[in-house]
């Protein structure tokens, strides 16, 4: 019998591994995030975000390497941010996914950077 369970890398990368790979700072950002994959639509809550991606806490886990469109609205923003992204890792307890942004329209990246620069979100410690 074939399993439809999401793939797992075992554990998410350690803080030191992530610190070595991250090019930008993570910020504590809690917003509703919609993910639209090939066959599923998921809802989750972001826990942290950077210019390169975010972590979404959700019971709806997509397979690693699945591309998805994600949509979220930053606090105080009039328009939602819509970005093509890919699932990079999955955590089962508590459940969630590490998402990397693939292509970010310039106006959305400007909105993300302006939000971080406003001081509305605090940098996450490593």
Contact predicate 104/66, CB 8 Å: no
pTM over 0.85: no
| Domain contains 65 | yes
Q: 111 in helix, strand or coil?
A: helix
Contact predicate 6/62, CB 8 Å: yes
| Domain contains 18 | no
* Residue range of the domain that includes 112: 24-117
Tens-level pLDDT at each residue, the chain (126 residues): 344 444 445 455 555 555 545 578 999 999 999 999 888 899 999 999 999 999 999 999 999 999 999 999 999 999 999 999 999 999 999 999 999 999 999 999 999 999 999 999 999 986
| Domain contains 6 | no
| Domain contains 59 | yes
CA–CA gap between residue 93 and residue 102 (Å, rounded): 26
| Number of domains the chain contains | 1
Q: 29-43 burial, b if ≥16 CB within 10 A, otherwise e?
A: bebebbbebeeeebe
In this structure, are strands 32-36 and 27-28 parallel, antiparallel, or unpaired? unpaired
| Domain contains 14 | no
Q: 113 in helix, strand or coil?
A: helix
| Domain contains 101 | yes
| Domain contains 16 | no
The predicted pLDDT at position 13 comes to 57
Give first-to-last CA distance, the chain, whole Å: 41
CA–CA gap between residue 42 and residue 39 (Å, rounded): 10
The residues, ordered by sequence, that sit 6+ positions from 109 with a Cβ below 8 Å of its Cβ are: 51
CATH code where residue 85 lies: 2.40.10.220
| Domain contains 2 | no
């Amino acid at each position: 019998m074939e399993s439809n369970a999401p793939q797992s890398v075992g554990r998410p990368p350690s803080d030191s591994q992530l610190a070595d790979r991250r090019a930008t700072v993570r910020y504590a950002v809690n917003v509703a995030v919609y993910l639209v994959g090939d066959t599923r639509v998921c809802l989750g809550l972001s826990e942290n975000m950077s210019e390169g991606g975010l972590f979404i806490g959700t019971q709806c886990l997509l397979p690693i390497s699945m591309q998805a469109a994600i949509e979220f609205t930053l606090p105080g923003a009039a328009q939602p941010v819509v970005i093509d992204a890919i699932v990079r890792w999955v955590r089962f307890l508590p459940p969630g996914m590490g998402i990397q942004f693939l292509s970010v329209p310039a106006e959305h990246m400007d909105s993300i950077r302006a939000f971080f620069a406003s001081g509305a979100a605090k940098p996450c410690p490593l």
